[in-house]
Homo-oligomer: A and B are copies of this chain.
Amino acid sequence: MTAGNGRPATGGATPDATTGDTVAGVVRQWRAVHPDLDTAPMEIIGRVNRCAALLQQAEDAPLRRAGLSRPEFDLLGALRRTGHELTPSELARETFSSGAAVTKRLKTLTERGLVERRGDPRDRRVAHVRLTDSGRALVDGVLPEQLAYETSVLSVLAPEGQGELAGLLAELLGRLEGRLGGLRA
């Protein structure tokens, strides 16, 4: 899904006020071409992907102002919210990224003085990473702006709608993680 990632499951189209969102238009096109197929999944998966892409693009703004990419912020955030040092492998698990990616990010974050590494005296293979004071200050400074921005973006939905959406997504995600996550474990 990468939002990389994060492209519509079936492609996109131009938004049209009379049609609703772009995904609705795409689904209509598919149905016209393949009336026999059940296109219902596109209505969820296509929208999840497209929402993820749009939200990320929007969201990135406050972070960039702070000179951080989202993956970098995720890494710093993991250290901040857990409140203790983490090893590179733990960071990889926490941020759902590969060890190699973590290594690279740690390199630049260390150079920028946002995190520090400490060797483990017991096991010299492992490193312990922690936030520096300025790294912590950066996270604490950016987070409120980030949340405020997210709140304003989501305010296009009424509060009850937001609650319902969060609930449904939690249910979906919880079961996907149990099912798909379990496959890998």
Contacts and interface: CB of A to CB of B under 8 A. Distances in A.
Contact of A147 (B4, B37, B59): B37
A29 to B, nearest CB: 4
A22 B177 contact: yes
B49 A11 contact: no
Interface of A is mostly: helix
Count of identical protomers in the assembly: 2
Tier of interface size on chain A: 35 or more
A166 to B, nearest CB: 4
A42 B173 CA distance: 14
Interface of A: 1-15, 17, 20-24, 26, 29-30, 32-34, 37-45, 47-60, 70-71, 73-75, 77-78, 80-83, 93-97, 140, 143-144, 146-147, 150-151, 153-154, 156-157, 161-162, 164-166, 168-181, 185
